[in-house]
Amino acid sequence: MVSISSRPASSRIAQSRTQQCPARFPRATLVAALALFACATTSSTVSRDAAGSAKTAEPAPGAATLPAAPGAGARDSAASIADEYRALQRVQAVLGWYSATQGDTSLGALTYLGHEHLFTPASLALIDAEIGKPALGANERLAWRFLRRALAGESVGLATAKFDDEFSDVEASTNVVVPFIKDAVPYRNLLLLIAAEADPAKRAQLYAASTKVLGEKLNPILARKEAAAQEAAHAAGFTDYVALSEDLRQVDLHTLLTEGVGYLKATDALFEKTLDRVAREELNTPREKLRTADMGRIWKSPKLAALFDQTLELKALDFFLGGIGLDLKTVVGGEVQVDDSVNPKKRPRAFVQPVDPPGDVRLSVKPSGGLDDYWTLFHEAGHAVHFASSTITPWENVLLGYGAPTEGFGEFFRHAFSDARFLVRYREFLRKSGKPAPSNAELASVLRHTALVEMSYLRRYAFAKTAYELRLHGRPTSEIEPALALLAHAETARDGSEAGLRSLFQQLFSRALTFPLTDEESMRFRADVDDTFYSADYTRAFVLAGMMHEGMRRKFGDDWYTNHSVGTFLREQLFSQGMALSVDDVAARLGFAPHMDFQLAAARAAKLCADADALEAQK
């Protein structure tokens, strides 16, 4: 996850760790700095490189119109708008980093004070004038388009910042009491505890404590945020929040849902079979009796825990990266800053914060050991190496472009654990590290778990989340009919009331996961939502990652894990371009037709499970 969401490998990487809480600015100094920033206006111009030839789908001309602030834009040039917005983003990134990793009070809403003029029609008109200049180079024109889309979309961020702050503060300050733990448990620790808990009854109690906080404290905040987001989208000149999101993500959600329905049907039998086997092996529970709380435990993969020692995580990452000629160094000579502390107020979900890439890239992960921890570390390392390798200019092309490819790069790294060739090499890595060598059956289980989580993600995101979020954000049921046709009780899910939304959430996710969600589990109907359909970026990323693996195989051979040319290709052809490449651009650079191939993704799932069976059968 890139946020705009472990390790003693070599001393080189270990030096970038944050073992203790990082030093913080004194609160008075921080507030004073924010006050000065809010009052400041920038007058310098941006030096722009007109070279390059990246391409993009153009946002709809004049799609966003924002309410004008009195006198706004009078002192601005397009370059000063770009400068000021970049400065705002950097301040928000640093403050967001400390809020997420240290539990500091979230100050996102305050950062907008004095900068409202950036999001007015006058500012957008200045950007439009730059886009219209015929002499612009391809990279420069692309950067202005990304900036315009970001400023238009920022109207939602401006309107919802106070709710995000409130949500973050409640998360960080809330503790819960469960009968089998002596001390109160920080809310942000619950997901880790659920995944680590072997007793299903205790998992259920932890999960119930989590949903209680959602129902009583967090869902009401999210309901207010939804209303504010819809109002902001209308004020910005979009038909609704969905239209704004489609423009921001450059995606057709109807087409995406159609692909998601097709993938769901194509993988139904394989997913049911694989989930049932893994659930019985890990939890001694058949698929149809699973609960949502059990899924975290399945991903934790306790039966495989010995293969994924927490103390070897960074060494394993270094082993993977080094094999293909990559590392966690930045192209400007520094290193990615890694925070793997276990602060109880720290957000449990790993993320990368590209504060000022390529020089200042930060990775936060809350390690707990196990296969899922390795998955997360490798995924986030994909983000980190991507941003640390970004050399394209101007800066908008690094940070404001397409989100799906960077998520795809993260998934591509994580998918190493879905390749029997890498797993055999990983066995040798464990042996040389003084650990017992896993059997072929154990390696096959790792592969099968990874294939399962890949199918689970695509089924949830491409099908359940796309359909549900379309309806949550106000689209009529007619737009999700392909999904409703697969539900047993669609009539109860057509109502746009809160009860109807919960029923829709419950049925869609039951269909995706192939076991029935309870009423308690449907309490996540507001929380399991990605802002501005970031779920669409994840969906395409999951497909892209599989295409990247196939692309590497075609270019560098079946066993490409010791070929440094892989790293050179990734850095020079993909990572250096920041966020300027769309998923279709990446596909084309890999030798595919420029579109996301969901049929290939379904075929990949079948192949991975067959590979696992074949590896298990080997003596």
Question: Secondary structure of 454-513 in the HEC alphabet?
Answer: HHHHHHHHHHHHHHHHHHHCCCCHHHHHHHHCCCCCHHHHCCCCHHHHHHHHHHHHHHHH
The arithmetic mean of pLDDT across residues 438-459, rounded, is 98
Q: In this model, does residue 426 exceed pLDDT 80?
A: yes
In the numeric block, which tokens belong to residue 338? 């890694």
Alpha carbon distances (Å) from 457 to 413, 503, 509, 512, 521: 16, 21, 11, 9, 18
Nearest to 523 by CA among 197, 173, 187, 209: 209
Flag whether 110 is in a domain: yes
Per-residue pLDDT at 1? 63
Q: In this model, does residue 52 exceed pLDDT 50?
A: no
Flag whether 159 is in a domain: yes
Flag whether 81 is in a domain: yes
Tens digits of per-residue pLDDT, 456-470? Answer: 999 999 999 999 999
Nearest to 577 by CA among 4, 16, 49, 44: 49
Q: In this model, does residue 90 exceed pLDDT 80?
A: yes
Cβ-based neighbour number of residue 547 at 10 Å: 22
Q: In this model, does residue 302 exceed pLDDT 90?
A: yes
* Domains contained in the chain, number: 1
Tens digits of per-residue pLDDT, 494-528? Answer: 988 999 999 999 999 999 999 999 999 999 999 99
Give residue 37's pLDDT band: very low, low, confident or very high (50, 70, 90): low
In the numeric block, which tokens belong to residue 76? 């601005």
Q: In this model, does residue 351 exceed pLDDT 60?
A: yes
Residue 81 structural domain:
11-172+185-240
**φ/ψ (deg, to 5) at 363:** -125, 125
Cα(99)–Cα(101) distance, integer angstroms: 6
Per-residue pLDDT at 2? 65
Q: Is 363 left (phi over 0), alpha (psi -120 to 50) or beta?
A: beta
In the numeric block, which tokens belong to residue 44? 């310098």
Q: Please tell me which residue, 105 or 540, carries the higher pLDDT value.
A: 540
The arithmetic mean of pLDDT across residues 326-353, rounded, is 90
Per-residue pLDDT at 70? 35
Flag whether 26 is in a domain: yes
Per-residue pLDDT at 349? 76
Q: In this model, does residue 29 exceed pLDDT 60?
A: no
Using CA atoms in the order 273, 277, 283, 288, what is the torsion angle rounded to 10 degrees?
Answer: 20
Mean pLDDT, the chain, whole residue set:
88
Per-residue pLDDT at 105? 87
Helix/strand number for the chain, H first, E second = 25, 5
Per-residue pLDDT at 55? 38
Per-residue pLDDT at 458? 98
The arithmetic mean of pLDDT across residues 186-209, rounded, is 93
Give the helix/strand (H/E) hosting 353. Answer: strand 351-356
3-state secondary structure at position 467: helix
Is the bond preceding residue 358 a cis peptide, omega within 30 degrees?
yes
Flag whether 377 is in a domain: no
Nearest to 153 by CA among 91, 223, 237, 95: 237
Q: Pairing between strand 337-339 and 360-364?
A: parallel
Look-up of token digits 């092309």: 397
Q: In this model, does residue 39 exceed pLDDT 70?
A: no
Alpha carbon distances (Å) from 530 to 469, 473, 539: 8, 11, 12
Flag whether 298 is in a domain: no
Flag whether 112 is in a domain: yes
Flag whether 167 is in a domain: yes
Q: In this model, does residue 21 exceed pLDDT 60?
A: no
The arithmetic mean of pLDDT across residues 195-203, rounded, is 93
The arithmetic mean of pLDDT across residues 327-340, rounded, is 94
Tens digits of per-residue pLDDT, 112-168? Answer: 999 999 998 899 999 999 999 999 999 999 999 999 999 988 888 889 999 999 999
Q: In this model, does residue 616 exceed pLDDT 70?
A: yes
